[in-house]
Amino acid sequence: MDHFEYHSGLLHAEGVSLVDIAQRFGTPTYVYSAATLTRHYRVFDQALAGSDHDICFAVKANGNIGVLGLLADLGSGFDIVSVGELERVITAGGDPAKVVFSGVGKRRDEIRRALEVGIACFNVESEAELERIDAVAQDMGCSAPVSLRVNPDVDAGTHPYISTGLKENKFGIAIERAEALYARAAEMAGVNPVGVDCHIGSQLTTLSPFRDAVTRILALVDRLAEHGIALEHIDVGGGLGVRYRDENPPSPAEYADAVAELISGRDLKLIFEPGRVLAANAGVLITRVELLKPGAAADDKHFAVVDAAMNDLIRPALYDGWHRIVPVAEQAAASSQKRRWDVVGPICETGDFLGLGRELSLAPDDLLAVRSAGAYGFTMASNYNARPRPAEVIVVDDTVHEVRARESVADLMRGERRLPFS
């Protein structure tokens, strides 16, 4: 469920028309619904009621400080993959003690900063990284809480670019190596093994690979306990899918029930790292039709050129990700001839599209909303073709809050210099 609905023929975010937002902030603009974010977080949290757990929102899905602050106020922790994301969490009011630090390439300065602020845990992705964390922590005279991100070699059945649990992926430590590495970690002066982490991929639409992965990880936990290494938590990652088109992913309750069943009888805290499932359907990208380029024949390609592009939302070009594209004004759409349009941007790449073959009734200057754009939208945006990134706003009831101003061309050139002799 989300809070983007039509009222009097116009698509609204909660109590505010997207037409009004476009007039005030221009296009393209990312629009987030506070009520939807709040509802999604609470549904996930309530599904875990009765268990010792932390929900650590994956900052890579949406790193806007306004979004992070809203989630922090709800009690969320955070999953980060860089010191930049850590500083965003702190600026947004997040509690460092509820932060887990993932990622395969943590630098020494990032490890040091995370130890300074007192994060909950490092999810260690390699033997070399474990040694690095140990060295930094010893240099600082402290002990770093760690969990090994164990790669269970399970196929998540998702797009290859967002699959992370196979041996061929760069993430994690092979499960057959994990036991020996935990034994080594237990002997290190600068680290304290407190948990185990597993994340097999994103946009999961079935629970079977997830159950398989967690079962393998729990068998490892049991073997470690037999050797005197008692872990405090299991981090089952994130990746629960959402409905972009016709997917039918498990609900958070089904997801939580599966975990509860698997860990029954074990004294383990649960950590979850949801991102997409909380944020995707809490956001839309509004864009304006600049011009139409119909084909000469009925079976030719028909192009609708809009002012948003692959630099604003790269999922369609990168993953062949499908987003529903709908008119903001129903009446305007009904008055135009319906065709199958390729909705494309102005960037000089054939892969610059938001949607292909969409049945839409369009005219120049129409507003469109790209649905399910709240996760991996702005956070993956770039300035390709010297294009400023969009504004971001959050709607709370009938009030719009600008949480990131639109970039200007001058912003893009800040810090650049001509050669002194040119």
Residues in Cβ contact with 415 at an 8 Å cutoff, skipping those fewer than 6 apart: none
Catalytic residue, from 56, 121, 142, 348: name it.
348
Helix (H) or strand (E) holding 332: helix 330-334
Q: Is 142 tagged catalytic?
A: no
d(CA 289, CA 367) in angstroms, rounded, equals 6
Helices marked H in 236-275? 252-263
Helix (H) or strand (E) holding 109: helix 108-117
d(CA 134, CA 337) in angstroms, rounded, equals 65
CB-hemisphere CA count at 13 Å for 386? 4
d(CA 105, CA 323) in angstroms, rounded, equals 31
Backbone angles phi, psi at 189, to 5 degrees: -80, -25
Check whether the bond before 28 is cis (ω within 30° of 0): yes
Which residue, 54, 170, 56, 16, is CA-closest to 104? 170
Catalytic center residues: 348
